Structure 1
Amino acid sequence: MKWLSTEVRDSMGMVAPFYKLHCLLKRAQMLLLCLGIAYLMAGSILLLQRSSIRIAQSNPANLPHMLSLAAPPTALRTAGLGMRARSRWAAIQSAPGGGAKVRRQGPASRSLGVQHLHRRWFHSLVPDSPEQRVSLHRSSTHKVRNVHYRGCFKLLKSTTGSFPVYSFQPNLTTQSCIETCTDKELLLAVFRKPHCFCTWTSSILSLKQQSDNQQCVGNLALNDTSTSTPSAATEHDHYQVYHTPVLDSRCKERMFLPHRSSSLVALSSFPGAGNTWVRHLIELVTGYYTGSFYFDGTLYNRGFKGEKDYWKSGRSICIKTHESGQKEIEMFDSAILLIRNPYRSLMAEFNRKCAGHLGHATDAQWKSKEWPEFVSSYAPWWASHALSWLKFGRHLLVVHYEELQRALLPQLRLITTFLNTTMSEERLFCAQSNQDGHFKRSGPQQPTFDPFTPDMRQMIDAFIHTVDQALKSRNFSGLPEEYLPR
């Protein structure tokens, strides 16, 4: 018995370490389970917070005052960081009428729900003149996606005969033609009263076929004054071509650079200068993702997949940044310097701070003490940002936001040339037809009063003169005349 008990004691001594290991693993398992539960609870809380924010934003009058702002550089200096964090992962807070004869060769529309949604895009304004680009509104307070006039084209009857949808109506209007093509989920509306064609490709519309707009205007006037039934289209006729709100699936195709780039190109701007909009245009026209010095989950969820990629990876066509310190500037090999009218930039950034990427500050917020504090801190930063990049930037392309609005295609050609990438006509068409994107603030909603006091204007005007002279001293064109004090 004594020998047996010794044997048992020896075996128990061998088992003890395994028992302790077993207990440790059970505790680790419980710890992981608790961590998993905590993670799920945190995610649920974040979702509830987002839902409450959306509900609050549906009633602008209930929006809280803007959060207190950390002050960026308050003097015209070139060293140091701006408002953005140093870290790459710093979060940023923030159917035609009766009597129509329709021939359909392509697939039917997906659903009545989609058709109803498309019809909401069309309710009122369609251009009387084909040169106009018109925003179609469901109501005076609800802006929707734009219809873009592509031009006047001379097309053969054999070409239009191949289009999948054709509609004939004696009283056909441009609006009803565009509605027909949108309901059929086709990209182009080809209009010559009383004929309406719809198609999904723009490859048949070459620049060689484009004609003077007066040709289409003349045809329209002739048809309007004719009292007889319009005759069928001849062997070749001039047609007005519009791009409907339907987005070509090819425009959504984007990718990271197939080969990592050894040079880093910055897309630098002061906050509120339209950096996100220009990123959208660059991605459309090149087909490559843009990156960011920061991380914005909202932008990532809306399609900017380069937000999550490390900014030095070399996989993005260019990198968004608002930094203005010498060290941060010299990390880039070249840069696109985007400049916007400081009055517009300050208002846009204040709107973003108060109401997010797409919202507007309320009159109460414009009248609060946050607004003058914001201007006194951010107006000098607008100037120091431009001056720093002009001083320390190695290879610069200066782009003015207003010039990009006025002459989109020429400016995009300059940008793609600077980025050393090719731009196909299809990609250019993508940018032209979907230039607004998801992050253009809806409507020209402005405060009901001028938020800039005389003292504010005196300070900002002095900064405008300083930046204008700095641009000219570097052999760049000066600021647009609309910036300059009057």
Structure 2
Amino acid sequence: LCLALQDRLEKVEKEVQSLKGENLALKLVLEEKKTFASVVKDGEVEVDSWKVVAASATKCTLKRHSAVDLNNRFSTLSDEIRDCGQTRVMSTVIKTVLLLAPAYVYLYINAVYSLKSSHLHYREPLTDLVSQMQETSTAVQNSTNGGHPSTSVYRALEIDHTKASHSLWSEDAQCSKFLVNFGKNIEGTLLLSFPRSGNTWTRYLLEGATGIFTSSVFNDPSLTKAGFLGEVSSLSHNNTIVTKYHFLQKNHHATDPCILLIRNPIRAIASLWAFKIVTSWDVKHVAVIDNSRYNTSEFRNFYQNMLNRWMDVIRNALENSRLRLLPMYYEQLREDPIKEVRRMLNFLRLKPNEERLVCVARHITGKMKGGQKKFNPYTKNEMNQAQEAVKIVNNLLVKRGLPPLPDYSKYEN
């Protein structure tokens, strides 16, 4: 890590020294931050203004910081970026850069001068800066992969350009350039959940964030029609980023990485009943039924069977000898989708593409996110049964060293 950080500083220094053929290294110290801030207006900085800032900057010697100090600075900025939320990332980074030590301002000036336009926008250089800092921070921090520290670095995904691609956001001028493709030689990962726990929506989020299709064991024609072209593929094809499963036999795929998606059983079962009742495949995934359709003996029996099935899906996943398991809680995914997508990308060992994440945030729902219903069709006894099932699953998670389930009483659906 020390050598890597020193090498990065040396490369930056060489690039700055070569600007416009001059052997001058621009140096901006903290005393000049007020001058720097005064020329920042509405996310743009004109070239002339940058020259003024550069000319007025203190001509001092930029001392190389220790690797430990750089690591701390990278980590601090990464934490602030992650906490600020997807709609305020750029402004938070600008503010933070203004207050950081000369090393980062030095890096930022280099990025700005490398652009070839009369007006320089913050978005492009800041995207590069955010990516570099997040990559460095992630590399030196422990991440939770089934309770084990991450020992791997980001992996590169190879795209298969001979196969079909799909545009998720074709009507958005800024996002239409991002396509979803099939990959090559991709390590298979399971996306396991009880039915109606947000699996299809999670697949959409991952396809948008990674640019790689997801697959399924079900081959649902309605999903293929909606643009999930990986639906016809499978885990063994090694050309999709995750594969949808709703149940695994014990020890089946026990060595494959697994994202375990869990939703409150009373909401998942109610949604599954609606999915079962609706006959048209075109609307099955998004349909909401009338409340009266739950007031039947068939639904009462259905609930009992499915509550046991909900526990079995999770129990089998947790009790299998998986080395890499990431629990994802649907309620938290709905509450902060981008944050949870970042967790999944880290688990998949993929470097976040910040521009893609902005587009995901702008089109967060997608076409196939299921309808939401606040109606509670359960009896008091059925609710008590659900609470006991949740306790059993929660104990299994804690025993495995994983985060406990969220407090479902805080979520309406």
TM-score, with normalisation over the residues of structure 2? 0.56
2:195 and 2:350 mapped to 1: Cα distance? 26
Deviations 1:279-329 (A, max 9, x none): 000000001001112210000110101001233100001111011311434
Let me know the Cα RMSD of the aligned residues. 2.9
Q: How does 1:86-485 map to 2 (within 5 A)?
A: 155-156=42-43, 208-209=93-94, 247=172, 248-250=174-176, 252-257=178-183, 259-261=184-186, 263-330=187-254, 333-355=256-278, 356-392=284-320, 393-442=322-371, 444-447=372-375, 450-482=376-408
Q: Percent identity?
A: 26
Letter in 2 for 1:391: E
Q: Partner residue of 1:52?
A: none
- Alpha carbons of 1:364 and 1:463: their partners in 2 closer, same or farther (altered >3 Å)? same
What amino acid is the match of 2:394? D
For residue 209 of structure 1, report the CA deviation from its aligned partner.
3.9
CA contact 1:342–1:460 (8 Å) conserved in 2 = yes
Higher strand share: 1
Q: CA deviation at 1:341?
A: 0.9
Contact 2:175/2:359 (CA < 8 Å) preserved in 1? no
Post-superposition offset of 1:345? 0.9
Contact 2:192 2:261 (8 Å CA) reproduced: yes
Task: Give the CA deviation at 1:411.
Answer: 1.4
Q: Residue 199 of structure 2 aligns to which amino acid in structure 1?
A: N
Distance 2:177 2:200 in 1: 17
Instruction: Identify unmatched segments of 5+ residues in structure 2.
Output: 1-39, 47-86, 97-120, 122-168, 279-283
Partner of 1:438, secondary structure, is: coil
Unaligned runs of 5+ in 1: 1-152, 160-201, 212-235, 237-243
Structure whose CA Rg is larger: 1
| Residues 389, 483 of structure 1: alpha-carbon distance in 2 compared, 3 angstrom cutoff | farther
What SS class does the counterpart of residue 328 from structure 1 fall into? coil
CA deviation profile, 1:150-170 (whole Å, cap 9, x unmatched): xxx9615668xxxxxxxxxxx
Give the Cα–Cα distance (whole angstroms) in 2 for the partners of residues 403 and 445 of structure 1: 17
**For 1:310-365, what per-residue CA distance to the aligned partner results, in whole angstroms no more than 9, with x for missing partners?**
331000011110113114342x5110001111111111211211221111122331
Letter in 2 for 1:472: V
Kept after mapping to 2: 8 A contact 1:256/1:289:
yes
Q: In the superposition, relative to structure 1, how do residues 254 and 346 fare at CA in structure 2: closer, same or farther (>3 Å)?
A: same
Q: SS at the partner of 2:234? A: coil
Query: 1:320/1:367 Cα in 2 relative to 1: closer, same or farther (>3 Å)?
Result: same
**Count of residue pairs brought into register by the alignment:** 253
Q: Deviations over 1:39-63 (max 9, x none)?
A: xxxxxxxxxxxxxxxxxxxxxxxxx
Contact 1:323 1:329 in 2 (8 A): no
User: Relative to structure 1, is the Cα distance of residues 445 and 467 closer, same or farther in structure 2, using a 3 angstrom cutoff?
Assistant: closer
Q: Distance in 2 between matches of 1:283 and 1:320?
A: 13
Q: Distance in 1 between matches of 2:400 and 2:194?
A: 19
> Are the aligned partners of 1:461 and 1:484 in contact in 2 as well (CA < 8 Å)?
no
Evaluate the alpha carbon distance shift between residue 207 and residue 286 of structure 1 in structure 2; reply closer, same or farther with a 3 A threshold: farther
Query: What is the alpha-carbon distance in structure 2 between the residues aligned to residue 251 and residue 385 of structure 1?
Result: 38
Query: 1:136: which partner in 2?
Result: none
TM superposition shift of 1:418: 0.9
